[in-house]
Amino acid sequence: MHRLALLGLAAALAGQPVGGEMLIDDFTGTDSRLGTQWRLVTDGVMGGRSSGQLWRGALEGRAALCLRGNVSLENQGGFVQIALELAPSGVFDAGAYRGLWLVVRGNGESYNLHLRTADLWLPWQSYRAELTAGPQWQEVRLPFDAFTPYRVETPLDTRRLRRLGLVAIGRAFAADLCIAGIGLYE
């Protein structure tokens, strides 16, 4: 049985840890395993001109969530993102884990995974790690120590996570990123 199917089956009990890992989402339901929903955010919230869409469906036999759109630098813009609140209220404690794993595919471009904590108040603050999504499904592991602070002085506190976002950012390009699974690993 495929690794994601095993994790999904065992973790169906509301995001419970499985063998040192915890499934956040396998995109087989409308909500994540944490009970929260993904949403699309573009630079239009600050007057930018980037556009995007969030698409959910089957891709090559896998349940997936896709971000498609165009990143524009016009009008001080420059991002399109799909974001997930990690706790319906309060904070999410990922202190027992070393990082995040994702199963992704895309158009060969570089994307970011942004983390926000309860300690961040300004919308441009985050902790960022970069990944490249090639045309084939691949698992990517991003250790928490690979995330760099962006416009924030405090180090990443994984015991106080609030949100994660997969982001096409920083340059004008066509975004096409799909994710078939995301979780935490020890």
pLDDT for 77 equals 83
Residue-wise pLDDT tens digits, 8-65: 433 333 444 556 899 999 999 999 999 999 999 999 878 889 999 999 999 999 999 9
Q: Does domain 3-185 have CATH number 3.40.50.720?
A: no
Do residues 71 and 41 touch, judged by C-beta distance below 8 A?
no
* pLDDT mean over 68-92: 93
d(C-alpha 26, C-alpha 8), whole Å: 7
pLDDT for 90 equals 84
Residue-wise pLDDT tens digits, 86-133: 998 889 999 999 999 999 999 999 999 999 999 998 989 999 999 999
Question: Residue 92, exposed/middle/buried by CB under 10 A (0-12, 13-18, 19+)?
Answer: buried
